[in-house]
Amino acid sequence: MKPNKTALIAGATGLVGSQLLPLLLASDRYAKVITVGRRPLPLVHPKLEQRVLDLDHLEEARLSLIADDVYCCLGTTMKQAGSKEAFYKVDYLYVVKLAALTAANFASQLLVVSAMGADAESRLYYNRVKGEMEDAVRQTQFRAIHLFRPSLLLGERADKRVGEQIGAVLMKLLSPLLLGPLRKYRAVSARAVAQAMMHAAEEEGGGVRVHLSDEIAATGSR
């Protein structure tokens, strides 16, 4: 089947996004893959179109953000962001704005990396922002919305995070003990998340669906 769809990915340089972009480019589903980011990627591919822009001014680039499937892998940490306000901008404002603009451009599907524990009523700021983001994107007019809630993400980051590296080692040791309802707390690789996102898009379903970490790991390993 000749590829005839367009994918758009924001956050292609991040842990999940960097695993997802090669899958999108290799997929028979897509004739074009659009990346959105502040800096150009050191990559040339016949399917690839890069939109280098300031995410604070996404509205100005709306007409260049036309796609069928929108993959949002934007996200940061409080330490990286430097403040609650900066964290909120990346993990809520940019994500919600991208969703609203691409929905207005009649995109069909939105696939977003969120986090385990996302809950707008949470007392934890990180989880609360993720939950508020999910609630906001649920209101956008896509045929299908997929929310991915991985546990601790495993993979090679450009920035080394000592705490996460230690956590990853511990989680690998503990994972065999996390059975039944506790399976959702197992760490999951960034590649498995990327593969699960691709699988969800190819299902061509409808409505809002939440993908928990254990399901992501199972789907991504197929």
Average pLDDT over residues 182-188: 66
pLDDT of amino acid 180: 52
In the chain, where are the structural domains located? 5-220
Q: With contact defined as beta carbons under 8 Å apart, do 147 and 139 qualify?
A: no
138 phi, psi to nearest 5 deg: -60, -25
For residue 147, give every residue at least 6 positions away whose Cβ sits within 8 Å of its Cβ, in sequence order, or none: 112, 114, 118, 134, 137, 208, 209, 210, 211
pLDDT band of 3, cuts 50, 70, 90: confident
pLDDT of amino acid 184: 56
- What is 5-220's CATH number? 3.40.50.720
CA distance linking residue 149 with residue 137, whole number of Å: 14
**Enclosing H/E stretch for 213:** helix 213-220
Question: What burial class does residue 39 get, using C-beta atoms within 10 Å of its C-beta: 0-12 exposed, 13-18 middle, 19+ buried?
Answer: exposed
157 phi, psi to nearest 5 deg: -95, 150
Q: Write the pLDDT tens digit of every residue in 136-179.
A: 999 999 999 999 999 888 876 555 554 545 544 444 545 554 44
pTM of the shown model: 0.88
